[in-house]
Amino acid sequence: MANKEKVCLAYSGGLDTSCILAWLLEEGYEVICFMADVGQEEDFEAAKEKALKIGASKVYVEDIRKEFVEELCYPAIQCNAIYENVYLLGTSLARPVIARAQIAVAQREGCVAVSHGCTGKGNDQVRFELAFYALQPDIKVIAPWRMPVFYERFAGRADLLEYAEKVGIPVTQTKSKPWSMDENLAHCSYEAGILEDPDMEAPKDMWKLTVDPRDAPDAPEDFTIKFEKGLPVKLEYENGKSVSEPLDLFLVANAIARRNGVGRIDIVENRFIGLKSRGCYETPGLTILRSAHVDLEGLVLDREVRALRDQFVTYNYSKILYNGLYFSPEREFLEDSIRASQKSVNGTVRCRVYKGNFQVLGRSSETEKLYDMSESSMDEIGAFAPQDTTGFISVQAIRLKKYGNSKLEKGERL
């Protein structure tokens, strides 16, 4: 008997991917299951046992938290990455390292295809598959939720539950949450279900990572973040404790923000494929690290460099992450630009969090001297001669005078 073709399935242990696993076996494939540990609160051992019981020949659980923080979250902090001025890209940031780890497992096992449980309307199908094709151009992708033979058979949750019972898939009986969730070290997202009504307030018991700001401690919590070349290198907290290693630093930032209710947003965003969607996100540690970085740049970064970076690098890098184009030449180019822009972003930011809010108490830099207190002071002249501003204003006014005269001649009001 000929050996079956192998497929590497991105497996979560939930109903959808468990049914996809059984369906792939039914279709005649040998299935290798892959799970990525990107910091989600997950019982990986239970999920592994479930996959093996259903019929997976092997299950890989890969811990990629360190590379997730160092290769994706930290560059995002360096360039203040943000999508549509609100979303800090928590889901998008995790997809490249997950896809890369899945392809590595598929190659190790000699798989002819990879598979996933992404829906046909979302962004993740694009993010994963573009990554797969960049990493292994000849790989075959099996996307069941875009295949009529699958989605016409399984129209909804009821069909999946019926199939699970029929083929012996263990389904844990828990209270169903009327929304979909995706969690990693950087954030947790909530969408679909009752959240599809954009005017429906997110229930208080939905939020998983952060305490309700109204229930957060009544006393503020202070901490200090040190940056070198735009990257957080030290976090000091709780009167004397400190942490420097990127993963540990990120975990501490998460803990501080979570217990103080920092990092919640609720938005309607534009998906890459053209649909609008409502999403709720918790992004605790990344929120305070990015906010501190933004503040420090005001002290140490040249204004024209900052403007160019904001207009070109931050906008396009964020869009590339969101659209799933991480493994692309433009991403490499932009990351070189990010590093070039951050040479002077060295210093310390003193921070406070309190009931959902982040505040900067002060900032300083021992090496970067763009800010001159005597020049900016209202109480001394310093090296800046006030009369020089007269010529500056006169030059700036030349074209505005011409514009104003043209309006007056036409009888138009400015």
Domain 6-69+81-173 sits in CATH at: 3.40.50.620
Transcribe 281-345 into DSSP letters. Answer: EE-HHHHHHHHHHHHHHHHHS-HHHHHHIIIIIIHHHHHHHHHT--SSHHHHHHHHHHHHHTTT-
User: What pLDDT was estimated at residue 375?
Assistant: 65
- Which residues belong to the active site? 16, 95, 124, 180
Where do the H-state alpha helices sit in 113-241? 124-135, 148-151, 157-167
CA dist 186 and 164 (Å) reads 32
Q: Which residues are CB-neighbours of 345 under 8 A, at least 6 positions away? A: 78, 227, 229, 230, 293, 296, 297, 300, 301, 368
* pLDDT tens digits, one per residue of 312-343: 999 999 999 999 999 999 999 999 999 999 99
CA dist 289 and 185 (Å) reads 14
Q: Which residue pairs from 241-247 have beta carbons closer than 8 angstroms and sit at least 24 positions apart in sequence? A: 246/66, 246/69, 246/70, 246/74, 247/65, 247/66, 247/69, 247/70
Domains 6-69+81-173 and 181-301+344-364 are alike in CATH topology? no
CA dist 273 and 275 (Å) reads 6
Could you list the beta-strand ranges (E) of 38-82. 58-63
Torsion of CA 206, 281, 64, 121, to 10 degrees: 100
User: What pLDDT was estimated at residue 172?
Assistant: 60
* pLDDT tens digits, one per residue of 152-167: 999 877 888 899 989 8
CATH of 181-301+344-364, one of 3.40.640.10, 1.25.40.80, 3.40.50.150, 3.90.1260.10: 3.90.1260.10
Q: Which two tokens stand for residue 151?
A: 């989605």
Question: Would the pLDDT of 1 be above 50?
Answer: no
Residue 369: exposure state from Cβ atoms within 10 A (0-12, 13-18, ≥19):
exposed
The pLDDT-based confidence of 271 (bands split at 50, 70, 90) is very high
Q: Which amino acid is at 217?
A: P
For residue 84, the SS3 value is: coil
CA dist 353 and 361 (Å) reads 10
The pLDDT-based confidence of 255 (bands split at 50, 70, 90) is very high
pTM of the model: 0.91
* pLDDT tens digits, one per residue of 57-114: 999 999 999 999 999 999 999 999 999 999 999 999 999 999 999 999 999 999 999 9
Phi, psi (deg, nearest 5) at residue 328: -145, 160
Instruction: Return the domain boundaries, the chain.
Output: 6-69+81-173, 181-301+344-364
* pLDDT tens digits, one per residue of 170-216: 876 444 677 888 999 999 999 988 999 999 999 999 999 999 999 99
In angstroms, the Cα distances linking 407 to 271, 302, 337, 393, 411 are 43, 36, 43, 21, 6
Question: Would the pLDDT of 414 be above 90?
Answer: no
The pLDDT-based confidence of 122 (bands split at 50, 70, 90) is confident
Question: Would the pLDDT of 277 be above 60?
Answer: yes
- Mean pLDDT, the chain, integer: 93
Whether 88 contacts 80, CB under 8 Å:
no
Proportion of the chain above pLDDT 90, given as a percent: 79
For residue 171, the SS3 value is: coil
CA dist 354 and 261 (Å) reads 8
